[in-house]
Amino acid sequence: MAFEVRFPVVGESVQEGQVYKWRKKTGEFVKRDDVLVEVETDKATVEIVAEAEGTLTINKNEGETIAVGELLASIDTSAKQPAVSSATPAATPAATPAATPAASSKSPAPATPPPIPTANAAPGGDVRPQSPAVARMAAEHQVDTSDIVGSGRGGRVTKDDMVQHLESPKQATPPAPAAKSAPAAMTAPVSSGERVERREKMTRLRQRIAERLVEAQHNAAMLTTFNEVDMSAIMDLRKKYKDPFKDSHGVGLGFMSFFIRAAVEALKKFPAINGYVDGTDIVYHDYYDIGVAVSTERGLMVPVVRNVDRMSFAQIEAAIAEYAKRGRDGKISLDDLAGGTFTISNGGTFGSLLSTPILNPPQSGILGMHKIEDRAVVVNGQIVIRPMMYLAMSYDHRIVDGKEAVGFLVKIKENIEDPARLLLGV
């Protein structure tokens, strides 16, 4: 009997997805709850698990588009799991004394035994995890994947890496070094003359990101205000308590928890920034769900830390660390991304000194953090060196006035420069 594996309903607005990676292959025996395939939607990557055990037959290849309810694969439930042989393998004959030169020339033996092949091994012995498509391409073109720098998780070679490797011009073998000891004259590199272009289909997630960014600019009157903040107080506080904090709570003390708490206090004073426009109405939120922008290998995602006004610093840091881990592993779910009343993006982790963040619709505000850099500033009439960060706050001018936006950013600056305010609520 064949059990049908279909793409399930994974979200109210998700109608189709793209087969990203098969974890199992055709003919492989799968057990119940084994992860069969990862399907990428316009919001997140979804894992499809086996609901029965048997032999798998794949119907949709990696890269193909699949609609909700469409057949992904089938499982032959009448098949039995192959028995694992417990027999001891036959012993290999003992090595014989070295043969005479005449005998050796007739039937030369290899100097070392060949390596034992592994399930994921490529022709050159690469044992990094590979998809069936990559393994097939490597075998067809006799490519040693150990020579390819993989862009996937853990250095995994992806199908795109293989295509790029096969389409790139072959490198000529470098000439042997000259026998002369005198240094060779420097010459300009000679171009091969080839101008290579590649066309790749955007992933479903990247398409959705593009749509949302254009939507934000078309549907909101977006404006950005800037300020700068002295990070000395927080950096001193973190340096003093980071070890006791980690010992007590099992999680590191970062800067994001301070900014989230500072944002919540500012949102309480300027509630329109925590709301959004719905037709001719303004919807205000009396709760605080803060989206934290996370960059993953598949694109930007904004998982939401919910009810942060009720959370301690340790709980906020633990939630952020968990989302960061899920982002690296591709495990962020649709529920993690749903909702959100305000967003914080930290471009400083990539070295950005200043940028203009784009709203995350339908939200009315987003805070951009940036790189901390020592700069000369005037404090009490004296020029001093302080660790400074530029802050940027983009907002929807339809419901947020400039005075409110500036006041919001100044309130965050005050809370960061004097973090005792966060404990006293002033």
- Residue 218 a catalytic site member: no
208: left (phi over 0), alpha (psi -120 to 50) or beta: alpha
Nearest one of 17, 36, 15 to 26, comparing CA atoms: 36
Distance CA 41, CA 31 (A): 25
Report the half-sphere exposure of 108 (CA within 13 A, side-chain side): 4
Report the half-sphere exposure of 10 (CA within 13 A, side-chain side): 26
Identify whether the C-beta of residue 291 lies closer than 8 Å to the C-beta of residue 360. yes
Catalytic residue among 147, 286, 335, 401: 401
| Strand 54-58 with 29-30, pairing | antiparallel
Distance CA 383, CA 376 (A): 6
- Residue 285 a catalytic site member: no
Distance CA 61, CA 333 (A): 23
**Number of H helices and number of E strands within the chain?**
10, 19
Q: What angle do CA 50, 52, 57 make, to 5 degrees?
A: 70
Contacts of 205 (CB under 8 A, 6+ apart): 40, 41, 42, 43, 44, 45, 298, 299
Q: What count of other Cβ atoms lies within 10 Å of the Cβ of residue 242?
A: 13
Tokens, residue 271: 């509630």
Catalytic residue among 76, 165, 397, 418: 397
Q: Residue 139: helix, strand or coil by DSSP?
A: helix
391: left (phi over 0), alpha (psi -120 to 50) or beta: beta
| Strand 290-292 with 342-346, pairing | parallel
Q: Residue 141: helix, strand or coil by DSSP?
A: helix
Nearest one of 35, 40, 70 to 50, comparing CA atoms: 35
Q: What count of other Cβ atoms lies within 10 Å of the Cβ of residue 246?
A: 14
Catalytic residues: 397, 401
